[in-house]
């Protein structure tokens, strides 16, 4: 067992929660961290953060978009620039933004930065919609 901290610019989302495992959307793919993991630092992309609390069946999930994660000793510190819990996600809103973004990708010639941002929006919308609509899809 180890400790998890998740901080966002707007709040302290998770503070010193004792957990048995945590899965993060790391730089080179989804990664599950178990107790005794070597010290490491990675950046996080857009994806789902999941963690298990001992003695409870429920897996806690949240969507994050860009973050930083460090494993030091027996604690995992995550800084998430953007974080939303499933109950905070408005599917309609994301579906609308997904449509706009996809339309933009198909019809417009975008600059590199715009392209990156639009692709990011599409990713975010997909993750959010999946998290709400197909929770089993987001299971381990």
Partner 1 sequence: MANLKDIRIRIDSTKNTQQITKAMKLVSAAKLRKAQHQIQNMRPYALTLKNVIADIAATQQVSHPLMVKRSNVRNVLLVVLTSDRGLCGAFNSGITKFADKYIADNKNNFEKIDFIFIGKRGIDYFARKKVKAIESFTKLDKDISYNFAKSIAENLTKQFEKGHYDEIRLIYNEFKSAISQKVVCETILPVEIERSSFDTAGAGHTAIAANMIFDPAPELIIEDLLKKNFNLQVYRAMSESVASEHGARMTAMENASNNARDMIAKLTLNYNKARQEKITTELIEIVSGAEALK
Q: Which residues contribute to the site for partner 1 (CB under 8 A)?
A: 5, 7-12, 15, 26-28, 38-43, 66, 68, 70, 72-73, 75, 77, 79, 81-82, 113
Cβ 136 to partner 1 shortest distance, Å: 29
Nearer to partner 1, 69 or 131 (CB): 69
How far apart CA 82 and CA 88 sit, in angstroms, is 12
Contacts of 101 (CB under 8 A, 6+ apart): 118, 121, 122, 125
Collapse the DSSP code of 117 into the 3-class scheme (helix H, G, I; strand E, B; otherwise coil) and give the result.
helix
Cβ 57 to partner 1 shortest distance, Å: 27
How far apart CA 6 and CA 80 sit, in angstroms, is 7
Measured at the CA of 41, the angle between CA 12 and CA 37, to 5 degrees, comes to: 95
Cβ 94 to partner 1 shortest distance, Å: 15
Nearer to partner 1, 41 or 96 (CB): 41
Cβ 5 to partner 1 shortest distance, Å: 5
Nearer to partner 1, 27 or 135 (CB): 27
Across the strands, what pairs with 50?
23, 61
């Amino acid at each position: 067992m180890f400790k998890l901290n998740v901080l966002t610019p707007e709040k302290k989302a998770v503070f010193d929660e004792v957990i048995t495992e945590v899965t993060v959307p790391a730089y080179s793919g989804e990664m599950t961290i178990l107790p005794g993991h070597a010290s490491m630092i990675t950046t996080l992309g857009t994806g789902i953060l999941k963690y298990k609390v001992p003695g409870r069946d429920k897996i806690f999930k949240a969507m994050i978009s860009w973050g930083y994660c460090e494993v030091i000793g027996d604690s995992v510190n995550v800084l998430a620039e953007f974080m939303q819990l499933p109950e905070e996600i408005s599917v309609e809103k994301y579906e609308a933004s997904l449509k706009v973004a996809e339309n933009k990708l198909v019809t417009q010639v975008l600059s590199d930065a715009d392209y990156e941002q639009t692709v990011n929006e599409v990713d975010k919308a997909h993750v959010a919609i999946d998290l709400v609509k197909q929770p089993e899809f987001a299971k381990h």
